[in-house]
A and B are shown apart, each in its own frame.
Chain A
Amino acid sequence: MKRRVAVAVASSLLLSACNRGVLDPAGPIAAQEKQLLINSTAIMLAIIIPTMIATIAFAWWFRAGNKKATYRPDWEYSGAIEMVVWAIPALTVMLLGGIAWIGSHDLEPSKPLKSTKPALNVEVVSLDWKWLFIYPDQGVATVNQLVVPAGTPINFRLTSATVWNSFFVPQLGSMIYTMPRMTTRLNLLADKPGVYNGLSSHFSGDGFPGMQFQVHAVPPDQFATWAQGAHGSALKLDGAGYAELSKPSSYVKPMTYGAVSRGLYDAIVANRVPPNPVPEPAHNQPVNGTKA
């Protein structure tokens, strides 16, 4: 089983070798955001290209040496032109403003995604300088590697145990800040299996460039297998384990914790040392679709 996951991961890595970031969306959020980017660019180019051409054309035609051009030294106002030059950008902005309003509401990061499948809950903590991903329902956690089932909505709760960072997987769409003592929410979905690069997109200090991670989107059945297998890891994310992990380090290799203190995420948000003992390793809850 483990080997099959490894093969799936490896093959998807090859597929994503040519990484085009937000231009190569791998989920509905990213796809819609890319479409918005392209549509808005096209709308504006329709005005900007003629303006640029007119700039060069007017300057050239009305050059001082051109005898054919009419010199109108006192022409400084035309009500009709004024109306047009105010109307063009105003109408464009009304159109784009509508797009922005609808888009903001459709793609609000905290909005749960519509899906027949229940969402996977993931709690994200940015540390100096790595990412901790806690799977509260599976009772496991990973560092710098996020394994998710493809085609399943993922419901993130995010915070920071240090300074601000921003959680961003360009091919999956929307980034969001992780901020100490606060929780932000984000909902994403990976359409198909693959490996997608993730990063912190808010500068956080000396180890910042080492905050790269990978998202492994695997077929749902393999995800269950992976989560089961993760319990086998001897690493425990209890008080001591967390204290060790939160020491500054960068370019950290992916790690998996077989067990996590219950309530660790909330303890981090509350700026408390993680309190609870690690639950039994046999702990195996079904994937829970309700909000975390």
Chain B
Amino acid sequence: MSFFGRLTWEAIPIHEPIPLITSLVVLLVLAAIAVWITRNHWWSYLWHEYITSPDHKKIGIMYITLGLVMLVRGFADAIMMRAQQSLAIGSSQGYLPPEHYNQIFSAHGTIMIFFVAMPLVIGFMNFVVPLQLGVRDVAFPTMNNVSFWLTASGALLVNLSLFLGEFARTGWLAFPPLSETQFSPGVGVDYYLVALQISGVGTLLTGVNFVTTILKIRAPGMSYLRMPVFCWTALASNLLIIAAFPVLTVTLGLLMLDRYLGFHFFTNDGGGNSMLYMNLIWVWGHPEVYILVLPAFGIYSEVASTFSGKPLFGYRSMVFATLAICIISFMVWLHHFFTMGAGADVNAVFGIASMIIAVPTGVKIFNWLFTMYGGRVRFNVPVYWLIGFMLTFTIGGLTGVLLAIPPVDFIVHNSLFLIAHFHQVIIGAVVFAIMAGYTYWFPKAFGFTLDERLGKAVFWCWFIGFHLAFMPLYVLGLWGATRRMQHIPDAAWAPWLDVAFVGAAIIGLGIFLTVVQLLYSIKTRDRRRDITGDPWDGRTLEWLTLSPPPHYNFAVLPDVHGEEAYWTRKQTAIKEEKLIAEPNYQPIEMPVNTPTGVIVAFFASVCGFAIIWYIWWLAILGLIGAFAIFVWYAWRDEHEHIIPLDEVIANARERRRVRHELLQELIKQP
């Protein structure tokens, strides 16, 4: 083995125009952004305000930015797949050979789940949970920063595979024995494994951080049954992370032992058993679905209640339903492989367990419905997403229950019907929630609202595009079309695939309009400022503070009375026609910035890259570097910095002045 392990000039895709041109374009764009930042002297700002920040809000914004950028990458994969399937019918082989097409669908799944959905959902939990709990930060702010950078490191490695070497050609779960060295000798699966191991550590740390935060750090009076539903769903989601992600780490670790050290956990020979991997990966994989969808349900609960001007209907029922889903989601993994021949009893038990999840989920739908009942529903953009979700998700639930019936699964398993189903629940529930949450909390993060008209256009693009893209796949699935086909065997499927392509293109337009909406809203921000900090007449504590909130969130931790902390406070103020008495302000201690996260992630990326390419000396250097920075951090002298009292008071008095004006207006209203 040479000095650079397996890495040679061959790794650069000189003869493959698509990855080569993409690589060059991405490098150019990155260079242009770097020049732009340098020209504007923004490096220092970015370094102090974002990259090294322990502030949960900044970390949340970084997660969401990462997720949205990766969404573009994942979508590019999607549209390439749709184009290939529209072209490669009959005698045509399309424009993507199998070895390229197979990388694309593997990358699409991996990126969309691990580097789009996860960062977006974790980003919202980061931004929102401490604010809703009425506290200043999460339990472990520096660790939070480390979590983000480790996730970013994983994303970097996955994208690096485009420029150097290849990505896995095994599908997004890399089932052995296909992913074993015998069948996948290249670096693709190693990119997959190493990237997910690094980002998986980040995710697990997030889980630990948020469970600790929600259980231990809440504003005075914020008992469990006064927490907003989003916090409950975040708690459930992070409990699932803590329980499920170690399983992923171990499973991928076992596969790494097979590939790197010649073990036989999942191989065809030496006593290996690939069924073991199938079970283990889905023991993580099914809860993963709920890790994503529970916070999405939380977002819908916030939106439904705020924009209906009513408390959430059946709050306790919602909490119970959330926890029920959290627990049952660990008892259904086998429904991902009914066709493995486990036998009727086993299949039926897991089928019924899967259906049982539909009960609390159904209850949630009905509760959102009755939240709107008797309300004054304001049709702002988040409500569009809410209603779009309720319509889309019920159908997705229907097809999900169908797939949970083993004998029905026997004829649609792995088909495009399945593809349509899980896109319907993941786009219909998770992506729609992310778009709702993005619109809903954007003014809190940046101090101005997003353009409503463009927001509605984005919604219609996604809503129409989604249905055009995926309804045909249900039909094709019933006709016997299976997933992951680089070539389509039946010419009769062509028109349906073309409709799906058009649908995907409309979704693409929606993504483009999201960018337009952002740029336009920034340009016109002066006339869309959120002065009050409460643009939607909110009910939870994040609307109590400034938009954007100061680093410490609240000058004094709010006293919570009742289930809807901020709403109760507003109602009391209106009734008494005055704000609560000015509290006794104190200087505030906040954690200091630290580059620990970004440096650890740098060394983790170096180490990961070296492991992928068998450059062992570099892997050891990377490991030592990552460890050294931890030691250096552990020896720090300075933990916190003090926000001086006059700054706290100045901010708080300004806030009270604004609130006072708002109150006067509200009192004048009949």
Determine whether the beta carbon of B343 is less than 8 Å from that of A208: no
Given that A81-B370, A99-B405 are contacting pairs, would A212 and B480 also be in contact in the complex, using a CB cutoff of 8 Å?
no
| B406 in contact (CB, < 8 A) | yes
Return the CB mask of B384-421 against A: 1 if under 8 Å, else 0.
00010011001101100110111110111111000000
- From 35 to 64 in chain A, residues with beta carbon under 8 angstroms from any chain B beta carbon are 36-37, 40-41, 44-45, 47-48, 51-52, 54-56, 58-59, 62-64
A189–B308 CA distance with the chains assembled, in angstroms: 56
| B490 in contact (CB, < 8 A) | yes
Determine whether the beta carbon of B98 is less than 8 Å from that of A208: yes
Q: Which residues of A contact B99 (CB under 8 A)?
A: 206
Q: Which residues of B contact A23 (CB under 8 A)?
A: 478-479
| A163 in contact (CB, < 8 A) | yes
A274–B381 CA distance with the chains assembled, in angstroms: 66
Given that A64-B379, A71-B374, A170-B480 are contacting pairs, would A206 and B339 also be in contact in the complex, using a CB cutoff of 8 Å?
no
- From 164 to 197 in chain A, residues with beta carbon under 8 angstroms from any chain B beta carbon are 164, 166, 168, 170-171, 173-177, 179-182, 184-185, 197
- From 81 to 135 in chain A, residues with beta carbon under 8 angstroms from any chain B beta carbon are 81-82, 85-86, 88-90, 92-93, 96-97, 99-101, 103-111
A-B contact pairs, 27 of them (CB 8 A): A19-B492, A22-B412, A22-B478, A33-B407, A33-B410, A52-B390, A52-B394, A55-B391, A63-B377, A63-B379, A71-B375, A76-B313, A86-B363, A104-B348, A104-B406, A109-B341, A164-B274, A166-B413, A166-B414, A168-B480, A170-B479, A179-B274, A182-B275, A184-B341, A206-B99, A208-B484, A271-B269
Contacting A62 at CB < 8 Å: which of B348, B376, B401, B481? B376
Mark A residues whose CB is within 8 Å of B.
Answer: 18-23, 30, 32-34, 36-37, 40-41, 44-45, 47-48, 51-52, 54-56, 58-59, 62-64, 69-78, 81-82, 85-86, 88-90, 92-93, 96-97, 99-101, 103-111, 162-164, 166, 168, 170-171, 173-177, 179-182, 184-185, 197, 199-210, 212, 271
- From 342 to 390 in chain B, residues with beta carbon under 8 angstroms from any chain A beta carbon are 343-345, 347-348, 351-352, 355-356, 358-359, 361-363, 365-367, 369-370, 372-379, 383, 387, 390
Determine whether the beta carbon of A48 is less than 8 Å from that of B177: no
Contacting A18 at CB < 8 Å: which of B374, B415, B492? B492
Determine whether the beta carbon of B366 is less than 8 Å from that of A51: yes
Q: Which residues of B contact A47 (CB under 8 A)?
A: 362
Determine whether the beta carbon of B367 is less than 8 Å from that of A176: no
Determine whether the beta carbon of A20 is less than 8 Å from that of B479: yes
Q: Which residues of B contact A19 (CB under 8 A)?
A: 479-480, 490, 492
- From 87 to 111 in chain B, residues with beta carbon under 8 angstroms from any chain A beta carbon are 98-99, 102
Return the CB mask of B576-609 against A: 1 if under 8 Å, else 0.
0000000000000000000000000000000000
Given that A36-B408, A108-B343 are contacting pairs, would A100 and B351 also be in contact in the complex, using a CB cutoff of 8 Å?
yes
**Least Cβ distance of A107 to chain B in Å?**
4
**Least Cβ distance of B234 to chain A in Å?**
21
Determine whether the beta carbon of B317 is less than 8 Å from that of A51: no
Given that A48-B394, A55-B369 are contacting pairs, would A76 and B410 also be in contact in the complex, using a CB cutoff of 8 Å?
no
Return the CB mask of B524-564 against A: 1 if under 8 Å, else 0.
00000000000000000000000000000000000000000
Return the CB mask of B599-637 against A: 1 if under 8 Å, else 0.
000000000000000000000000000000000000000
**Least Cβ distance of B119 to chain A in Å?**
27
Contacting B387 at CB < 8 Å: which of A59, A90, A106? A59
Count chain A CB atoms within 10 A of each CB in B102, B178, B490 and give the residue with the most.
B178
- From 399 to 449 in chain B, residues with beta carbon under 8 angstroms from any chain A beta carbon are 401-402, 404-408, 410-415
From A208, which residue of chain B is reached at the shortest CB distance?
A: B484
Determine whether the beta carbon of A177 is less than 8 Å from that of B341: yes
Given contacts A64-B377, A203-B178, A205-B178, 5 further A-B contacts (CB under 8 A): A22-B478, A22-B480, A86-B359, A197-B489, A209-B485
| B286 in contact (CB, < 8 A) | no
Q: Which residues of A contact B356 (CB under 8 A)?
A: 93, 97
Determine whether the beta carbon of A168 is less than 8 Å from that of B482: yes
Given that A40-B401, A55-B390, A209-B485 are contacting pairs, would A62 and B372 also be in contact in the complex, using a CB cutoff of 8 Å?
yes
| B73 in contact (CB, < 8 A) | no
Task: In the A-B complex, list the 7 residue pairs whose CB atoms are closest, starting with the nearest.
Answer: A21-B480, A89-B362, A170-B480, A72-B374, A85-B366, A104-B348, A21-B479
A77–B373 CA distance with the chains assembled, in angstroms: 11
From B384, which residue of chain A is reached at the shortest CB distance?
A: A59
A51–B368 CA distance with the chains assembled, in angstroms: 11
From A77, which residue of chain B is reached at the shortest CB distance?
A: B314
From B275, which residue of chain A is reached at the shortest CB distance?
A: A179
Q: Which residues of A contact B273 (CB under 8 A)?
A: 181
Q: Which residues of B contact A176 (CB under 8 A)?
A: 339-341, 410
Determine whether the beta carbon of A34 is less than 8 Å from that of B359: no
Contacting A175 at CB < 8 Å: which of B275, B315, B404, B413? B413
Determine whether the beta carbon of B411 is less than 8 Å from that of A175: yes
Determine whether the beta carbon of A37 is less than 8 Å from that of B344: no
A203–B359 CA distance with the chains assembled, in angstroms: 33
A21–B347 CA distance with the chains assembled, in angstroms: 24
Contacting B394 at CB < 8 Å: which of A21, A51, A97? A51
**Least Cβ distance of B616 to chain A in Å?**
29
A254–B130 CA distance with the chains assembled, in angstroms: 64
Q: Which residues of A contact B3 (CB under 8 A)?
A: none
A175–B414 CA distance with the chains assembled, in angstroms: 10
Determine whether the beta carbon of B398 is less than 8 Å from that of A174: no
Determine whether the beta carbon of A64 is less than 8 Å from that of B274: no
Q: Which residues of B contact A212 (CB under 8 A)?
A: 489
Determine whether the beta carbon of A73 is less than 8 Å from that of B178: no
| B310 in contact (CB, < 8 A) | yes
Determine whether the beta carbon of B343 is less than 8 Å from that of A62: no
Given that A89-B359, A177-B340 are contacting pairs, would A59 and B489 also be in contact in the complex, using a CB cutoff of 8 Å?
no
Q: Which residues of B contact A203 (CB under 8 A)?
A: 102, 170-171, 178, 483-484
Given that A22-B412, A75-B310 are contacting pairs, would A199 and B482 also be in contact in the complex, using a CB cutoff of 8 Å?
yes
A63–B394 CA distance with the chains assembled, in angstroms: 22
From A96, which residue of chain B is reached at the shortest CB distance?
A: B355
Determine whether the beta carbon of B98 is less than 8 Å from that of A207: yes
A59–B374 CA distance with the chains assembled, in angstroms: 10
A97–B485 CA distance with the chains assembled, in angstroms: 33
From B176, which residue of chain A is reached at the shortest CB distance?
A: A163
Determine whether the beta carbon of A70 is less than 8 Å from that of B313: no
**Least Cβ distance of B471 to chain A in Å?**
14
A179–B347 CA distance with the chains assembled, in angstroms: 18
A207–B97 CA distance with the chains assembled, in angstroms: 10
Given that A51-B365, A58-B373 are contacting pairs, would A64 and B387 also be in contact in the complex, using a CB cutoff of 8 Å?
no
Determine whether the beta carbon of A36 is less than 8 Å from that of B407: yes
